[in-house]
């Protein structure tokens, strides 16, 4: 898949910079720190010697593209194509070249659609998209097949003895919210390649309704900050409802001057979650707080341009004491969104996806307008 469109090689873009926070050169160094951890086969692990999963891998690929590491980004998508299984999914955990956990998660499988749409926005490489389309189509077909009656997406399909087993009849709000963004990206790609996917559109409409109106039907993970902001970040909840959602738990998670907690009970702030909240805030027009939080989390930056995962403030220690590619990736995507630098800066805002699919009720008994 890499090098698919030679005509696109001449298409360039500026590297983001956020005034007073990150320079373009610092952004390049962060992208280089991600590329330095990439394996020869294109895999991008969480950190050196750690696991690779498809969601964080794709997030890192998008960040590489933002930071000008085009070849490394495209090798990452080569890895996706090589590792995808016949059912469209990816194993949830790969260490080196060995599969350590066969399970197939819906949100990890779906996210490749966001990555490929982002690549299109930045590179305008039609050959890349056409080569990636079968991969995206298989992935989202797998994901749509995991939709539960109320509209949420089952979070995992277990594997036993190297073969798919049952799908757990449980949905996660964070994962389903991420899948909503992925389905919208997939529908945008479907329109681009002229391969309509009405089943995805119906599934996205049902999923949006579940996230917006039935959060209680998902597993209760409310102690995690991601369950707080992801319905906004994924795009299912916007407008006044989004502002109310953010305000409801602001004081539970935000630690002024440091970032946000990963878990509301622990004195631990994490960089990736902070940057995701930055992007959610910016997407709903809360730019002042987005910029402030983006500046606050820069204490996690290290000399080579990478970022440590988090900081335990009572002990004043980094924990875990590692530099993670997914944290660096979230920083670069947030920098791009805040600065509006690359053509892919909108990827978390989502206006390039087109209109939201019409909401469709599942088995909840709600009355909603019929899809058009």
Read off the pLDDT of residues 203-229 as tens digits, 9 standing for 90 and up.
999 999 999 999 999 999 999 999 999
Cα separations (Å) of 286 from 226, 228, 245, 250? 18, 16, 13, 13
For residue 175, give the nearest of 131, 210, 129, 202 by alpha carbon: 210
Q: How far is CA 145 from the centre of its chain?
A: 20
What does the mean pLDDT of the chain come to?
95
For residue 184, tell me if it sits in a domain.
yes
Q: Between the CA of residue 260 and those of 120, 256, 269, what are the distances in Å? A: 32, 8, 5
Residue 362 has pLDDT above 50, yes or no: yes
Domain assignment of residue 11, yes or no? no
Q: Tell me if 94 is assigned to some domain.
A: yes
Q: How far apart are CA 365 and CA 189, in angstroms?
A: 32
What contacts 366, CB < 8 A, 6 or more positions away?
Answer: 209, 213
**What is the structure's pLDDT at 161?**
82
* Whole-structure pTM value: 0.96
Q: Cis omega before residue 258 (within 30°)?
A: no
- What is the crossing angle of helices 112-123 and 126-144, to 10°? 160
Please tell me the distance from the alpha carbon of residue 276 to that of residue 337, in angstroms, as a whole number: 11
Who contacts 40 (Cβ-Cβ below 8 Å, separation ≥6)?
Answer: none
Whole domain around residue 105: which residue ranges?
Answer: 16-353
Per-residue pLDDT tens over the stretch 68-99: 999 999 999 999 999 999 999 999 999 999 99
pLDDT value of position 4: 41
Query: Does residue 46 fall inside a structural domain?
Result: yes
Whole-angstrom distance between the N-terminal and C-terminal Cα of the chain? 36
Quick one: average pLDDT of 190-196? 98
CATH code of 255's domain: 1.50.10.20
Look at the chain and report how many structural domains it folds into: 1
64 within a domain of the structure (yes/no) = yes
The pLDDT tens digits of the residues spanning 167-182 come to: 999 999 999 999 999 9
> Is there a domain that residue 55 lies in?
yes
Residue 369: what pLDDT?
Answer: 57
pLDDT of 322: 96
Residue 170 φ then ψ, to 5°: -140, 140
What are the Cα distances from residue 154, in Å, to 1, 67, 146, 148, 166?
30, 34, 5, 6, 11
- pLDDT of res. 168: 94
Query: How far is Cα 31 from Cα 67, in angstroms, rounded to an integer?
Result: 5
Is residue 109 a part of any domain in this protein? yes
Over range 217-242, report the average pLDDT: 98
3 state SS of 175 = helix
Q: What integer pLDDT is reported at residue 370 of this predicted model? A: 47
In a domain, 97, yes or no: yes
Report the Cα 10 to chain-centroid distance in Å: 27
């Amino acid at each position: 898949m890499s090098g698919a469109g030679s005509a696109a090689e001449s298409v360039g873009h500026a590297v983001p910079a956020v005034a007073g926070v990150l320079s373009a050169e610092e952004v390049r160094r962060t992208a280089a720190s991600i590329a330095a951890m990439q394996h020869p086969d294109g895999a991008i692990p969480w950190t050196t010697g750690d696991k690779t999963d498809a969601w964080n891998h794709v997030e890192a690929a998008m960040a590489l593209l933002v930071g000008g590491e085009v070849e490394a980004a495209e090798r990452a998508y080569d890895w996706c194509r090589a590792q995808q299984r016949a059912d469209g999914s990816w194993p949830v955990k790969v260490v080196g070249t060995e599969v350590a956990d066969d399970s197939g998660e819906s949100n990890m499988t779906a996210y490749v659609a966001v990555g490929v749409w982002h690549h299109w926005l930045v590179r305008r490489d039609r050959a890349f998209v056409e080569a990636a389309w079968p991969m995206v189509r298989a992935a989202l077909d797998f994901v749509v097949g995991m939709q539960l009656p109320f509209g949420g997406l089952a979070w995992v399909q277990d594997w036993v003895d190297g073969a798919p087993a049952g799908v757990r009849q449980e949905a996660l709000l964070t994962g389903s919210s991420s899948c909503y963004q992925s389905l919208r990206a997939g529908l945008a790609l479907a329109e681009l390649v002229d391969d309509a996917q009405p089943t995805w559109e119906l599934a996205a409409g049902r999923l949006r309704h579940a996230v917006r109106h039935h959060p209680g039907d998902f597993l209760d993970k409310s102690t995690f900050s991601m369950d707080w902001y992801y319905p906004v970040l994924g795009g299912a909840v916007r407008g006044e409802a989004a502002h109310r959602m953010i305000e409801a738990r602001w004081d539970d998670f935000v630690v002024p001057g440091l970032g946000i907690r990963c878990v509301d009970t622990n004195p631990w702030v994490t960089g990736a979650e902070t940057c995701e909240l930055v992007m959610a805030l910016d997407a709903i027009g809360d730019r002042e707080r987005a910029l402030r939080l983006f500046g606050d989390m820069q204490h996690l930056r290290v000399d080579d341009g990478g970022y440590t995962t988090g900081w335990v403030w009572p002990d004043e220690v980094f924990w875990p004491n590692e530099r993670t590619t997914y944290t660096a990736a979230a920083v670069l995507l947030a920098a791009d969104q805040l600065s509006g630098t690359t053509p892919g800066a909108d990827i978390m805002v989502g206006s390039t996806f087109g209109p939201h699919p019409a909401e469709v009720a599942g088995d909840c008994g709600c009355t909603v307008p019929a899809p058009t």
